[in-house]
Amino acid sequence: MTHQIAIIGLGYVGLPLARLFATKYPVVGFDINQQRIAELNAGNDFTLEVEQDLLKSVLVTVNPFVIPSLNKEETTVSDEVYERSSEESQSIAPVLSGAEGKRGLYCTHELSDIADANIYIITVPTPVDKNNKPDLTPLYKASETVGKVLKKGDIVIYESTVFPGATEEECIPVLEKVSGLKFNADFFAGYSPERINPGDKEHTVEKILKVTSGSTPEIGKVVDDLYKSVITAGTHLAPTIKVAEAAKVIENSQRDINIAFVNELAKIFNLMDINTHDVLEAAGTKWNFLPFKPGLVGGHCIGVDPYYLAQKAQEFGYHPEIILAGRRMNDSMGAYVASQVVKAMIKKDIAVNGAEVLMLGITFKENCPDVRNTKIVDVVAALKDYGIKVTIYDPWAKPEEVKHEYGLTCYNTLPCHSARSEESLSAAQLESTSASIEKYDAVVLGVAHNEFLNLDLNLSLKEKAVVYDVKGVLEGAENTL
């Protein structure tokens, strides 16, 4: 079987996977966001998960499934090179040569471009709604899309995090209804949960062991061999799709519960006036002590996945106590951080109502532009409830995305005193222009971006001010979580 792969969804998960598969196979990446497709075809990834050189090295400008001069019986296309017409993209021109050499990534928003695929990999988000209920809408829509072009013999692989049973009970019926084909007779399915860690340049997709599964033992082997061909870390073939789904959802639930435990410790030790990070450092000297730290739990995985497992458990009549208790603890931390900042201000006799606070960071983790489900917004909202004016500075976040998602103004450079809305300063400019830097009653380090670690916070502090370190990374910070 000659694999022709379509990746549905080109975000934080889909693009790195598409890029990797494109080094060995013909790949078409599909996304409904036309702006995203235009950016990718220009060699730019705003998520910063795939570097420009890597992306351009696999991009092609002609659908690799449909090569006009290629007879289907031929096995070679010697020195076939596809050049971009635009002058600035001349570097994107990989060679397609032969059945085994035919490879490359073609990005599109046109459904017809994925019609000739025989393997469809769905990598769309699986969020929760405002009531923390699983929202499968993106999965349903993606399944409908694939169903329109599904053919006999095709395999549909899901990577999105779901509760056990979602692939076969929720997604497969959509594929059957739209395509008119019969599951495990006309088409087949697989599940291989994503393990992308946004912003992590060490543990990239090919270096993370992949769990695989198939709707039949034979298809499981096909799916496993497919991933094994590009994943250098290896694969683990699970016996069923439900096992693979369950494995993924408990990975992040486990981390969530462990972080909730240390968050509760932080609340206890703060009451006792004991530094939590010092306690964890001392306890960590034992060989089997798990190195978790307190903090805000956001992002697309850890703060979301436990709700998927909890929802399914409740459908079976079981109320998960530990899982939901962990979620309640971690969801409470934004308001808790804000209350601790206010207490520190009161101790310094700083008037809270009308005070000005600088929030350093709004992404859900350090050195990454991802603002999905960031819990910094909970801190900001709680501080505003106290009547505090909050300025957000984050060199990684996209201000327009922050505005669209949360209605908040975010600056990529440090605001100046003279014209906050029009003028700002980078960290490199601060020393020579310290007189113009905005001064604050408190500075809260919410995200440990590298840019913040060497920032001279004294330049941003009023004479009587508070520094609160959520991450526990600032030397000499008097207030930490």
CA distance 356 to 21: 49
Q: Is 107 a catalytic residue?
A: no
Going by their DSSP bridges, the two strands 235-237 and 210-212 should be labelled as parallel
CA distance 361 to 321: 32
CA distance 463 to 330: 34
CA distance 163 to 339: 35
Measured in residues, the chain has a length of 481
Residue 66 has a CB neighbour count (10 Å cut-off) of 15
CA 303 to chain centre: 12
CA distance 114 to 182: 20
* Residue that has been written with the tokens 């697309």 in this structure: 300
Residue 458, φ and ψ in degrees, nearest 5: -60, -30
Active-site entry in 301, 368, 410, 416: 301
| Residues with catalytic roles | 301
